Amino acid sequence: MINKLFDELSKLEQVEAIALGGSRSGETYDENSDYDIYVYISAPIEEETRRNILSRYCGYIEIGNDYWELEDNCILKNGIDIDIIYRDLDSFCEDVSLVVEEKRAHNGYTTCMWHNLLTCKIIYDKKGALQKAKNRFNIAYPDKLQKNIIERNANLLYASMPAYSRQILKASGRNDRVSIIHRTAAFLESYFDIILALNKLTHPGEKRLVEYCKNNCDILPNRFEDNLNRLFDDMIIHSDSLNNDIEAIVSALKPLLTDYDIEI
């Protein structure tokens, strides 16, 4: 079923390449794993054209969701979810270039798109442009990018006036649970960006990050998992302990940053 869908999409004039991402692009999936499909296009594909193709393979279809990227989110007739993401390859490569070649850091998730490109499995590549992009960005993790990610996100964690640790403390003081959750999520985005940069690993996304870091990172803070679990347990029930939890995470991280010439 899925191969027939790929074949139909590849016949569209606008489609330059198709890639499989997520767990399906590697070896850690099972028969119930979702499909993440990236369709690289040279021009928009009409919604009706997409709907006509997808209706032959999907029992449920949502066309044109654009909460993050332009997507069609569906359930195949065999019950498996499928997300089809439409991208302009040139624009996508420009975004990856800003990170990899210009060494620009973000507030968390800095290298996610780089990771997505490097790890995707090419299904169709009309002119070889997607493989060319993979080859272009298949380089060693730049030292300058590592430094920029660590510096920017360490500032956001604890060193600057608007640091997340300060915001969490204020939110806890007023028992503002929505703000606590919101700022703690942002804290963790920057925290994991630092951990992955320390290890010169691209960012795989938010799923199973603790497990991923334990299995792949040579450099981890002391009590890495224990400190995170304590934070999670205290977020709502014992919010008066959050400041100590955040301080424990930051204190365990700081010694790992001393060798990276970070001005904080």
Helix (H, G, I), strand (E, B) or coil at 199: coil
Q: Say whether both 103 and 196 belong to one domain.
A: no
Note down pLDDT in tens along the chain; length 264 residues. Answer: 789 999 999 999 999 999 998 755 454 555 667 889 999 999 999 999 999 999 999 999 999 999 999 999 999 999 999 999 999 999 999 999 999 999 999 999 999 999 999 999 999 999 999 999 999 999 999 999 999 999 999 999 999 999 999 999 899 888 888 999 999 999 999 999 999 999 999 999 988 999 999 999 999 999 999 999 999 888 867 667 888 889 999 999 999 998 776 655
Per the structure, the complete domain to which residue 210 belongs is given by 143-260
Contacts with 173 (C-beta within 8 Å, 6 or more apart), sequence order:
none
Q: Say whether both 149 and 254 belong to one domain.
A: yes
Q: Say whether both 124 and 152 belong to one domain.
A: no
List the beta bridge partners of residue 20.
37, 121
Q: Say whether both 99 and 170 belong to one domain.
A: no
Domain count, the chain: 2
Of 136, 170, 189, at which residue does a domain stop? 136
pLDDT at position 175, please?
84
Cα 122 to Cα 11, 12, 13, 37, 116: the distances in Å are 16, 17, 18, 10, 12
Q: Is the C-alpha dihedral spanning 197, 203, 205, 208 positive or negative?
A: negative
Q: Domain holding 90: CATH number?
A: 3.30.460.10
pLDDT at position 264, please?
55
Of 136, 163, 183, at which residue does a domain stop? 136
Where residue 87 falls (left for φ over 0; alpha for ψ -120 to 50; beta otherwise) is: beta
Q: Say whether both 131 and 13 belong to one domain.
A: yes
State how beta strands 81-88 and 35-41 pair.
Answer: parallel
Q: Say whether both 147 and 132 belong to one domain.
A: no
Select from 200, 189, 195, 203 the least CA-distant residue to 156: 189
pLDDT at position 25, please?
45
Of 88, 119, 136, at which residue does a domain stop? 136
Select from 18, 2, 20 the least CA-distant residue to 57: 2
Q: Say whether both 110 and 192 belong to one domain.
A: no
pLDDT at position 174, please?
87
Q: Say whether both 64 and 149 belong to one domain.
A: no
Q: Say whether both 181 and 127 belong to one domain.
A: no
Contacts with 177 (C-beta within 8 Å, 6 or more apart), sequence order:
236, 239
The number of beta carbons lying within 10 Å of the beta carbon of residue 216 is 11
Q: Say whether both 17 and 118 belong to one domain.
A: yes
Q: Say whether both 126 and 158 belong to one domain.
A: no
